[in-house]
């Protein structure tokens, strides 16, 4: 045999083998009977934040007490009170001015440390677990040609399930 004849014979053998293999392998569609369908769930946590507000009024802060405002206010009040009245009235006006000035001076000095007129909002938040069940698919048990199969599918197939059957030589 020469090389051309040998090449032609090999080509014919390969063509016959491919044709016979194709004739033996066959895919087709059929229907299987569904025996059981059960939904499959997954529990997930989707936490959410819950917030509330409180209003605090006149919150006293810890500061060291000073008397500079009272002293300055008392002196200023005494000077102003001394300008009013005459005789014993002048003495009473001086004393009243000193007392009033001391009170006003103290309040002006400590006004930032304690303010009853303005409240402030205090916001508190916390995370709360929120568990949900989500459908992930369906576990389907079906029967075809005397055999039972189980598969997870995205949808409920109903009473019958379309299957692809492939026959290959062993």
Helix (H, G, I), strand (E, B) or coil at 62: coil
- Sign, CA torsion 97/102/103/105: positive
Residue found by looking up tokens 């001394």 in the block: 82
Total-model pTM: 0.42
Q: Has residue 73 got a pLDDT over 90?
A: no
Q: What is the pLDDT of residue 63?
A: 61
CA-to-CA dists, residue 21 to 9, 83, 162, 165, angstroms: 18, 126, 26, 17
pLDDT band at residue 150 under the 50/70/90 scheme: very high
Q: Which range is least confidently modeled, 7-16, 65-74, 143-152, 153-162? A: 7-16
Q: Which residues contact 95 (CB under 8 A, 6 or more apart)?
A: 78, 81
Question: Looking at residue 154, what DSSP letter applies?
Answer: S
Q: Has residue 9 got a pLDDT over 70?
A: no
pLDDT band at residue 6 under the 50/70/90 scheme: very low
CA gap 70, 33 in Å, rounded: 97
């Amino acid at each position: 045999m020469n090389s051309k004849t040998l090449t032609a014979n090999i080509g014919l053998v390969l063509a016959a083998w491919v044709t016979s293999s194709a004739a033996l392998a066959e895919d087709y569609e059929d229907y299987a009977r569904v025996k059981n369908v059960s939904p499959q769930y997954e529990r997930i946590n989707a936490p959410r934040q819950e917030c509330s507000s409180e209003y605090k009024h006149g919150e006293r802060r810890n500061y060291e007490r000073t008397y500079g405002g009272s002293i300055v206010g008392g002196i200023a009040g005494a000077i102003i009170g001394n300008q009013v009245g005459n005789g014993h009235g002048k003495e009473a006006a001086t004393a009243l001015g000193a007392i009033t000035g001391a009170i006003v001076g103290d309040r002006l000095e400590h006004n930032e440390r304690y303010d009853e007129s303005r409240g402030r909002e205090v916001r508190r938040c916390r995370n709360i677990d929120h568990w949900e069940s989500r459908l992930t698919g369906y576990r389907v048990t079906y029967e075809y040609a005397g055999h039972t199969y189980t598969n997870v599918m995205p949808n409920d197939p109903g009473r019958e399930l379309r299957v692809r059957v492939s026959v290959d030589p062993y």
